[in-house]
Amino acid sequence: MPPLSARKNNTPTGVLQSVATITCLRDRDLLAHSLVSTLSELIHSSRVSMYRIVSNDHGGEAVLVAEACSHPGNASASPEIGIPIASRADFSTVWHTEKEYVSPIVKNDYLSVYPIIGQHGTVGLLETISDAHSEMERHLISAFLKVYSNYQTLLDESETDTLTGLLNRRTFDNNIEKIIAEHALPDDESGSPAGQRPARRVLGAELPHWLAIIDIDHFKRINDEFGHLYGDEVLILLSRNMQRIFRQRDKLFRFGGEEFIVVLDRTSEENAKAALDRFRVAIEQYDFPQIGKVTISIGFVRLDKPDVPSAIIGRADQALYYAKHHGRNRVCFYEDLVVAGKLSGEHYSDDLQLF
């Protein structure tokens, strides 16, 4: 028999209240956790897991986004590791058919996998393990997933740049605050409610994030010589190369005009430098229609401690400024420039920042 809380919430009023709670959220991680938590209360399940599908050369992976369990022992064994879609017949079937998959498992439990449909097909999966696979529960889950998908589409439209499809400046402001807050907490402090596991990668949790500002060299000259339509095409093609070259978990933003920002997920300094230089070389070698060759300059900083966003961006901008005035088509690391005496750096006195 379902617990009292589930029976109480599984009423028309309770369902509407749950929908209202979900759709008041603007943060995608909180939205996913809220939906999973809500469904775990509404249906009689031992585990509800949500996965995001990440495309790759091998067909795709399912990466755990949120999970709610009736008992800690029911949690996924390795939440930080992506599951190859091809390795699970149920995931592969749902991904390709966009239809629910149900299979009985041990002790009269049922494993169900539902597709999460986006604008371009299946973008995620919802997995439930339940001992009461009723028609009502199926319809309830499907309805919630439709609400979730529609709401995600609205978030996509409000958070992305119309021209390039990258995340926009407002979304950057929200994301950078979250990343700074993440570094303000001990690595083992999750703050997650009981029964929920944060869907964060535990491997490399001690490593920093990195923020890079990318600027197209001589972009005004491109607009003046070829016109703004070709200038826009350069922005679009550069954005597509960003999406192709950087990792799925790196965040890509159009900051304004011909400036872009990449926030690299936790990695080493060596890997950050290599990733940014790999992108610089890719753009240098790319043949832009009508325009020909285009180069970029990049300035980047380490992001591993509490700070104000304006100071972080200011340091990256100083490194970018140095790159632009010392040959362009190069990647400059702020801390390296300070150590080498090429930038003076910043000096702090208590909470007062002096330049």
| 22 in Cβ contact with 35 (< 8 Å) | yes
Neighbour-count burial of 42, counting CB atoms closer than 10 A to its CB (0-12 exposed, 13-18 middle, 19+ buried): buried
What own/partner pairs with CB < 8 Å and gap ≥ 24 does 101-109 have? 102/133, 105/129, 107/131, 109/46
Q: How far is CA 325 from the centre of its chain?
A: 33
| Beta strand pairing call for 83-84 and 209-216 | unpaired
Q: What is the DSSP letter of 287?
A: -
DSSP 8-state class, residue 128: E
Distance CA 165, CA 159 (A): 9
Torsion angle (degrees, nearest 10) of CA 196, 198, 202, 206: -130
- 353 neighbors 338 (Cβ within 8 angstroms): no
Catalytic residue list contains 258: yes
3-state secondary structure of 179: helix
Per annotation, catalytic residue among 80, 225, 258, 346: 258
Strands (E), 15-98: 45-54, 61-69, 83-84
Picking from 327, 236, 323, 331, the residue whose alpha carbon sits closest to that of residue 274 is: 331
Say how many CA atoms lie within 13 Å of 86 toward its Cβ: 6
> Which candidate, 271, 263, 270, 261, places its Cα nearest to that of 317?
261
**In the block, which residue shows the tokens 């995620």?**
124
Element (H, E) at 213: strand 209-216
Q: SS3 of 169, please? A: helix
Q: Which are the catalytic amino acids?
A: 258
